């Protein structure tokens, strides 16, 4: 029987000899330098998740390591504050952490239909959304890792996706594409971490919605989805424990802040003052100062900059005719992770601090494209303090 067909949620004593051998092989393939950057993945359960998530294919698995900012929280309040502190737009993207279930698995909740994608997407860079969600996942990962150390059991995340308030704006193609890219990114960075997904308050056209999202879902993720009917509150509480679920979703748990929804982000329409404008962005570059390149399908373009001394900041700004993979490397190592970014509503801009001098490479990658080229207009420069 292939390893991934066994139960993914095992105790330390249940890890087989074959799995221990694969874990050792993966640790060697990734190498000590990358594991040093992501120590919270460097244990048997953490590496086993990568193996299950990537079907025990070691060479491919080793390519998907990603550095995620390391920080820790202990409860729902600290978790909520950490995410809200990342960007003023955070409260308008639904989500959050409700606590732990009876076994110690994390309980997440997504009121996805309470967002207004057409306004939210005009407020900030797509990369900021991706960074926020990756940090959210890493915070939950830290919480779970602590519980695994206490229990000796491999745990995960259980997510309630509440579809109450569904409307057709959620299927707006431009924003749906961003959301699907986000789903793929989360699965790439945190494979085999989701233990169960409960979809509740489903709309009549749920099958259509699911078919739109399904291409972005890994096989393992699809197998964990349960679309529940009218008795969903009972099922959720039976599985997770009513004492761990807020009353709004059928449980008995009372949030410490006294609000019905606790520290969860409930979405809503982002106010006008949060909308992006060139006047409010000190890093905006006028179009006449941008350099245009065309990136054909199945190809990528590199922009090389030489940094003369450590501590300098590499700044970039770009807009693209369609979504494109963007990353920054030095000596073959990513110093800015690869994100698939759309600039239809807000341009992409940012900076990284260059810890060492040398050549830094901005990569605009259209390798996944099938037919069409992507036009990119960009500006990049080095700033010495």
The predicted model gives 135-163 an average pLDDT of 89
pLDDT confidence band for 225 (50 / 70 / 90): very high
pTM: 0.80
The pLDDT of residue 379 is 97
Backbone φ, ψ for residue 144 (5° rounding): -65, -40
Look-up of token digits 């996942």: 137
Tokens representing 265?
Answer: 């982000």
The pLDDT of residue 152 is 86
Q: What is the DSSP string of 93-112?
A: S-B-EEEE-TTS-EEEEE-G
The pLDDT of residue 13 is 64
pLDDT confidence band for 258 (50 / 70 / 90): confident
Per-residue pLDDT for 71 more than 80? no
Cβ-based neighbour number of residue 288 at 10 Å: 5
For the chain, the 3-state helix, strand and coil shares in percent, each to the nearest 5, are 40, 25, 35
The pLDDT of residue 63 is 40
pLDDT confidence band for 3 (50 / 70 / 90): very low
* Cβ–Cβ under 8 Å, residues 165 and 113: yes
Residues 28-65: tens digit of each pLDDT: 766 676 666 665 566 676 676 666 665 544 333 334 33
Whole-angstrom CA distances from 309 to 62, 314, 336, 353 are 31, 12, 19, 11
Residues 138-147: tens digit of each pLDDT: 888 888 888 9
* Mean of pLDDT over the chain: 86
**Helix (H) and strand (E) counts in the chain:** 11, 13
- Nearest to 184, CA basis, from 117, 139, 134: 134
* Cβ–Cβ under 8 Å, residues 90 and 84: yes
Contacts of residue 204, defined as CB under 8 A and 6 or more positions apart, other chains included, come to none
Of residues 131 and 305, which shows the higher confidence score? Answer: 305
The percentage of residues in the chain with a pLDDT greater than 70, rounded to a whole number, is 85
Residue ranges of the alpha helices (H) in 54-125?
58-62, 76-84, 117-120
Question: Helix 173-189 crosses helix 126-151 at what angle (to 10 degrees)?
Answer: 30
CATH topology assigned to domain 278-383: Jelly Rolls (2.60.120)
Residues 76-94: tens digit of each pLDDT: 888 888 888 888 899 999 9
Per-residue pLDDT for 20 more than 60? yes
CATH topology assigned to domain 76-272: Phosphatidylinositol Transfer Protein Sec14p (3.40.525)
The pLDDT of residue 16 is 76
Query: Domain ranges in the chain?
Result: 3-62, 76-272, 278-383
* Cβ–Cβ under 8 Å, residues 187 and 53: yes
Alpha carbon distance 79, 235 (integer Å): 26
- H/E element, 225: strand 225-227
């Amino acid at each position: 029987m292939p390893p991934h067909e066994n139960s993914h949620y095992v105790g330390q004593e249940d890890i087989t000899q074959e799995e221990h051998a694969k874990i050792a092989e993966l640790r060697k393939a990734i190498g000590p330098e990358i594991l040093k950057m992501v120590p919270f993945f460097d244990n048997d359960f953490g590496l086993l998740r990568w193996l299950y998530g990537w079907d025990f294919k070691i060479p491919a698995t080793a390519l998907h390591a990603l550095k995620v900012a390391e920080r820790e929280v202990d409860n729902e309040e600290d978790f909520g504050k950490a995410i809200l502190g990342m960007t003023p737009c955070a409260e308008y993207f639904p989500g959050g952490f409700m606590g732990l279930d009876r076994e110690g698995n994390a309980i997440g909740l997504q009121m996805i239909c309470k967002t207004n994608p057409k306004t939210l997407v005009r407020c900030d860079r797509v990369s900021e959304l991706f960074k926020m969600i990756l940090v959210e996942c890493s915070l939950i990962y830290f919480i779970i890792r602590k519980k695994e150390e206490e229990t000796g059991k491999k745990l995960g995340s259980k997510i309630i996706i509440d579809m109450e308030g569904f409307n057709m704006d959620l299927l707006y193609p431009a924003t749906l594409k961003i959301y699907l890219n986000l789903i793929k990114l989360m699965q790439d960075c945190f494979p085999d971490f989701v233990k169960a997904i409960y979809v509740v308050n489903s709309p009549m056209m749920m099958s259509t919605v699911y078919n739109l999202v399904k291409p972005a879902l890994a096989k393992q993720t699809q197998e964990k989805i349960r679309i529940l009917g009218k008795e969903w509150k009972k099922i959720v509480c039976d599985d997770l424990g009513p004492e761990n679920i807020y009353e709004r979703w059928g449980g008995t748990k009372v949030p410490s802040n006294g609000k019905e929804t606790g520290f969860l982000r409930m979405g809503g329409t982002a106010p006008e003052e949060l909308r992006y404008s060139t006047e409010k962005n000190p890093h905006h570059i006028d179009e006449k100062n941008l350099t245009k390149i065309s990136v054909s399908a199945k190809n990528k373009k590199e922009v090389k900059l030489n940094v003369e001394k450590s501590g300098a900041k590499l700044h970039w700004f770009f807009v693209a005719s369609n979504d494109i993979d963007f990353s920054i490397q030095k000596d073959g190592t990513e110093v800015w992770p690869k994100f698939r970014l759309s600039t239809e509503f807000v341009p992409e801009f940012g900076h990284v601090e260059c810890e060492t001098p040398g050549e830094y490479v901005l990569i605009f990658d259209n390798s996944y494209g099938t037919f069409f080229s992507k036009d990119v207009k960009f500006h990049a420069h080095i700033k010495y303090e």
